[in-house]
């Protein structure tokens, strides 16, 4: 028993001596720093040994950031763990042998590596984008002063497809879209129960996500790309800039494709033009008169009741079937046309005039309202998150959110409206409902002198019980009428009809498997190619790019990131708004630097 206290005292004395030596070395190195860099190297090596730092691969984080898939498990957002090769030249015992060994492991020239090792006494980075087998091979060499550190890289294989839904991230932080809204779910943290996407049935589990958690969306990548290309082609042919599209299942609210133009590539989000990241389908205001004929007809059917007579043709009926503006507004409120519709990643928008009667609605409000008029009167909220996959428990947890559905019409009346509402817009040959309208509008943007022509298309198929509902809208400036007529091409109705035909011929086939498949190697190969094309080709070029830290204070985040693009550093972001502080400071040397930090604050 008497030996135990003595053993503890011996350990305490050892710890005390180790700490005293470290402090002494620090004081000596600090005092002589200006006179002898060599002594600083000795100090760094000594502290490295005392603190237990060793060569090899540093421990990796427990799990990667969660992936985002479409409903067929096509990768929309993925993460790769790669390694950077670092060295402390002061600890390297033989430059030539070390360079030769690293050249064999990395494929780089020995002379270049040796030159880099001799050029600095500080921590340097010799290579990036190493995969785990390469890092393990380097660790096995047990070279003094050489080690690999893991880093996580986010990649969006579909590029611009669904970019407004996915959003983007920088460093380890989601900044927008689903990446931002569900950053806590996708991040590699410990168990958490919030903020799990709304409507997900947790099956009684208290905590979800001890490991990686993936999001599986309702989007269909093939339909998404098809819709994106159609809208982009139409805008280019008509010399327009703004467009939006929404393809959904009116019976369930599942969004199959969502497009906003102009778009952006989340892999390079800081290069996007102002306004490109605007989620127009949820925020851009459209004139209520664009769907006035549909509202009038639905109100007239409701007034006639279940046993009412068929409607008179528009040509012989009273104007607006006898409805005053106030009566039509009252009906619109009953079917909840003006209710805000929020996405899974941001809020919706609405606007009311000074008199209190709404004058504008969003594309998603149009989609949600028309869906309720053709699905039997159920008010649904379009959604984009189908389920989550918890890798720790190997469970896929699905959305069960029908509890929020409400009937806005009597069930029998809802069926009558579905059968008779779109009789005037029925295309008999292909059994589609094809509706179009246009309206000159002003003042929605706050500029009283601004006019714009808005065009709306709504299509559904099949007509008897629509399975697909498509909303397209574009906006053109009335100041350039000659450009609007410069190119004769397909109309919005023709393009919309083709999308509906394509959806019918290629219906979405959700993956039957519960768990996501193995990593897509083609996407990984694509990622490596993009990184190598964007990165410096030689050590010298990399050193030139990272000469000194640029001045970023006062810039917006987008402009600051654009300015940092050539330096290939990891950028840590704190706050939002404009840059108020930066580290390293402006003008500081970036040789050997791996990352920088920007502090932002709202102006």
Confidence at residue 51, expressed as pLDDT on a 0 to 100 scale: 36
Confidence at residue 566, expressed as pLDDT on a 0 to 100 scale: 76
Q: How far apart are CA 72 and CA 60, in angstroms?
A: 30
The per-residue pLDDT of the chain, averaged, comes to 80
Q: How far apart are CA 75 and CA 86, in angstroms?
A: 31
- Is residue 462 pLDDT above 80, yes or no? yes
Q: In what order do the strands lie in the sheet with 358-362?
A: 285-287, 358-362, 351-352
β-strand pairing of 56-57 with 146-155? parallel
- Residue 123 maps to a domain: no
Q: What is the CATH number of the domain that holds 475?
A: 3.40.710.10
Q: In sequence order, what DSSP letters do the residues of 99-132 get, joined into one string?
A: HHHHHHHH---HHHHHHHHHH-SS-EEEEEEE-H
Average pLDDT on 54-75 reads: 75
Confidence at residue 307, expressed as pLDDT on a 0 to 100 scale: 84
- Residue 452 maps to a domain: yes
**Of residues 597 and 499, which shows the higher confidence score?**
499
- Residue 86 maps to a domain: no
Grouping H, G, I as helix, E, B as strand and the rest as coil, residue 43 is helix
Same domain for 556 and 480? no
β-strand pairing of 451-461 with 213-217? unpaired
Confidence at residue 443, expressed as pLDDT on a 0 to 100 scale: 53
Same domain for 561 and 432? no
Please classify residue 152 by burial: count the beta carbons closer than 10 Å to its beta carbon, then call 0-12 exposed, 13-18 middle and 19+ buried: middle
Buried b (16+ CB within 10 A) or exposed e, 455-470: bbbbbbbebeebbbbb
The pLDDT-based confidence of 503 (bands split at 50, 70, 90) is: very high
Is the C-alpha dihedral spanning 579, 584, 587, 590 positive or negative? Answer: negative
Question: Which H or E run includes 486?
Answer: none
Same domain for 564 and 497? no
pLDDT digits (tens, 9 = 90+) for 160-186: 999 999 998 877 788 889 998 998 889
| Range from 337-341, 388-392, 442-446, 566-570 carrying the lowest mean pLDDT | 442-446
Contact 594, 569 (CB under 8 A): yes
Same domain for 494 and 591? no
Confidence at residue 252, expressed as pLDDT on a 0 to 100 scale: 92
Confidence at residue 43, expressed as pLDDT on a 0 to 100 scale: 37
Confidence at residue 53, expressed as pLDDT on a 0 to 100 scale: 44
Residue 373 makes CB contacts below 8 A (sequence gap 6+) with 294, 298, 335, 409, 414, 417, 418, 421
Task: Tell me the percentage of the chain whose pLDDT exceeds 70.
Answer: 78
**Of residues 189 and 88, which shows the higher confidence score?**
88
Same domain for 563 and 447? no
- Residue 426 maps to a domain: yes
| Alpha-carbon separation of residue 298 from 302, 311, 334, 416 (angstroms) | 6, 10, 12, 10
Q: How far apart are CA 213 and CA 394, in angstroms?
A: 10
| Alpha-carbon separation of residue 507 from 72, 73, 221 (angstroms) | 12, 16, 12
Most trustworthy range by pLDDT among 71-80, 178-187, 552-561? 71-80
The pLDDT-based confidence of 38 (bands split at 50, 70, 90) is: very low
Backbone torsion region of residue 320, taken as left when φ is above 0, otherwise alpha when ψ lies between -120 and 50, otherwise beta = left
- Residue 94 maps to a domain: no
pLDDT digits (tens, 9 = 90+) for 375-388: 989 999 999 999 99
Confidence at residue 29, expressed as pLDDT on a 0 to 100 scale: 43
Same domain for 553 and 500? no
Q: How far apart are CA 129 and CA 96, in angstroms?
A: 23
- Is residue 96 pLDDT above 70, yes or no? yes
Confidence at residue 484, expressed as pLDDT on a 0 to 100 scale: 44
- Which of 482, 505, 528 is a domain's end point? 505
Confidence at residue 544, expressed as pLDDT on a 0 to 100 scale: 47
pLDDT digits (tens, 9 = 90+) for 282-317: 988 899 999 999 999 999 999 988 888 878 777 777
Average pLDDT on 428-450 reads: 75
Same domain for 497 and 567? no
- Residue 195 maps to a domain: no
Grouping H, G, I as helix, E, B as strand and the rest as coil, residue 153 is strand
The pLDDT-based confidence of 219 (bands split at 50, 70, 90) is: very high
- Is residue 590 pLDDT above 90, yes or no? no
pLDDT digits (tens, 9 = 90+) for 313-322: 777 778 888 8
Provide the domain limits for residue 29. 3-53
Confidence at residue 429, expressed as pLDDT on a 0 to 100 scale: 81
Same domain for 594 and 464? no
Confidence at residue 446, expressed as pLDDT on a 0 to 100 scale: 53
Same domain for 450 and 392? yes
Confidence at residue 306, expressed as pLDDT on a 0 to 100 scale: 85
Task: Tell me the percentage of the chain whose pLDDT exceeds 90.
Answer: 37
Measuring CA to CA, which residue among 375, 380, 389, 381 is closest to residue 343? 381
Confidence at residue 336, expressed as pLDDT on a 0 to 100 scale: 93
- Which of 505, 534, 562 is a domain's end point? 505
Same domain for 279 and 406? yes
Contact 287, 359 (CB under 8 A): yes
pLDDT digits (tens, 9 = 90+) for 337-381: 999 888 888 755 544 444 567 889 999 999 999 999 999 899 999
Confidence at residue 34, expressed as pLDDT on a 0 to 100 scale: 40
Residue 509 makes CB contacts below 8 A (sequence gap 6+) with 72
Same domain for 571 and 466? no
- Residue 34 maps to a domain: yes
- Residue 289 maps to a domain: yes
Contact 32, 39 (CB under 8 A): yes
Average pLDDT on 384-410 reads: 86
pLDDT digits (tens, 9 = 90+) for 118-149: 877 788 888 888 888 999 999 999 999 999 99
The pLDDT-based confidence of 15 (bands split at 50, 70, 90) is: very low
The pLDDT-based confidence of 584 (bands split at 50, 70, 90) is: confident
* Helix residue spans in 161-291 (DSSP H): 163-166, 177-181, 183-186, 221-237, 280-283
Same domain for 569 and 494? no
**CA 39 to chain centroid:** 49
Q: How far apart are CA 155 and CA 527, in angstroms?
A: 7
- Which of 505, 530, 553 is a domain's end point? 505
Number of domains in the chain: 3
- Is residue 196 pLDDT above 50, yes or no? yes
Average pLDDT on 544-559 reads: 77
| Range from 53-62, 111-120, 157-166 carrying the lowest mean pLDDT | 53-62
Buried b (16+ CB within 10 A) or exposed e, 262-288: bbbbbbbbbebeeebbbbbbbbbbbbb
Q: What is the CATH number of the domain that holds 551?
A: 3.30.10.20
């Amino acid at each position: 028993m008497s030996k135990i206290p003595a053993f503890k005292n011996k350990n305490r004395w050892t710890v005390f001596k180790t700490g005293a030596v470290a402090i002494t070395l620090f004081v000596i190195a600090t005092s002589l720093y200006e006179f002898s860099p060599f002594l600083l190297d000795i100090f760094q090596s000594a502290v490295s040994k005392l603190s237990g730092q060793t060569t090899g691969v540093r421990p990796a984080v427990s799990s990667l950031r969660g992936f985002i898939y479409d409903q067929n498990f096509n990768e929309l957002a993925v993460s790769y763990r790669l390694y950077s090769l670092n060295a402390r030249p002061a600890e390297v015992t033989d430059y030539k042998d070390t360079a030769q060994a690293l050249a064999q492991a990395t494929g780089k020239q020995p002379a270049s590596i040796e030159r880099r090792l001799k050029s600095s006494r500080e921590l340097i980075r010799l290579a990036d984008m190493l995969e785990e087998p390469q890092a393990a091979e380097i660790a096995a060499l047990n070279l003094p002063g050489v080690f690999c550190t893991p880093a996580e890289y986010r990649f969006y294989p579909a590029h611009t497809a669904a970019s407004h839904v996915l959003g983007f991230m920088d460093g380890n932080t989601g900044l927008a879209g689903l990446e931002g809204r569900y950053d806590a779910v996708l991040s590699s943290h410990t168990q958490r129960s919030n903020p799990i996407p709304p409507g997900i049935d947790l099956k009684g589990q208290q905590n979800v996500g001890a490991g990686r958690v993936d999001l599986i969306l309702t989007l269909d990548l093939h339909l998404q790309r098809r819709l994106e290309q159609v809208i982009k082609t139409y805008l280019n042919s008509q010399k327009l800039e703004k467009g939006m599209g929404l393809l959904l299942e009116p019976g369930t609210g599942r969004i199959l494709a969502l497009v906003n133009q102009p778009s952006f590539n989340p892999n390079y989000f800081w290069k996007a033009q102002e306004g490109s990241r605007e989620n127009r389908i949820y925020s851009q205001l459209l004139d209520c008169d664009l769907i006035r004929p549909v509202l009038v007809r639905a109100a007239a059917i409701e007034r006639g009741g279940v046993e009412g007579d068929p409607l008179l043709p528009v040509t012989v009926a009273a104007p607006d079937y006898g409805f005053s503006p106030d009566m039509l507004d009252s009906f619109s409120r009953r079917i909840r046309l003006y209710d805000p519709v929020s996405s899974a990643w941001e809020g919706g928008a609405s606007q009311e005039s000074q008199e209190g009667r709404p004058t504008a609605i969003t594309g998603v409000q149009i989609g949600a309202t028309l869906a309720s008029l053709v699905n039997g009167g159920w008010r649904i909220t379009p959604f984009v998150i189908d389920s989550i996959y918890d890798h720790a428990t190997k469970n896929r947890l699905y959305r069960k959110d029908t509890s929020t559905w409400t009937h806005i019409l009597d069930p029998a009346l809802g069926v009558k409206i579905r059968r008779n509402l779109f009789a005037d817009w029925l295309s008999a040959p292909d059994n589609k409902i094809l509706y179009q309208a246009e309206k000159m509008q002003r003042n929605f943007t706050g500029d009283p002198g601004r006019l714009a022509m808005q065009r709306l298309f709504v299509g559904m198929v099949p007509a008897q019980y629509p399975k697909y509902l498509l909303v397209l809208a574009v906006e053109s400036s009335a100041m350039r009428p000659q450009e609007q007529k410069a190119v004769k091409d397909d109309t919005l109705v023709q393009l919309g009809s083709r999308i509906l035909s394509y959806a019918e011929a290629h219906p979405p086939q959700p993956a039957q498997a519960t768990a996501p498949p193995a990593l897509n190697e083609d996407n990984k190969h694509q990622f490596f190619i993009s990184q190598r094309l964007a990165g410096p080709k030689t050590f010298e070029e990399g050193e030139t790019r990272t000469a000194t830290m640029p001045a970023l204070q006062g810039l917006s985040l987008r402009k600051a990131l654009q300015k940092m693009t050539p330096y290939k550093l990891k950028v840590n972001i704190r706050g939002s708004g404009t840059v108020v502080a930066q580290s390293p400071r402006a003008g500081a040397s970036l040789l050997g630097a791996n990352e920088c930090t920007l502090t932002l604050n709202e102006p």
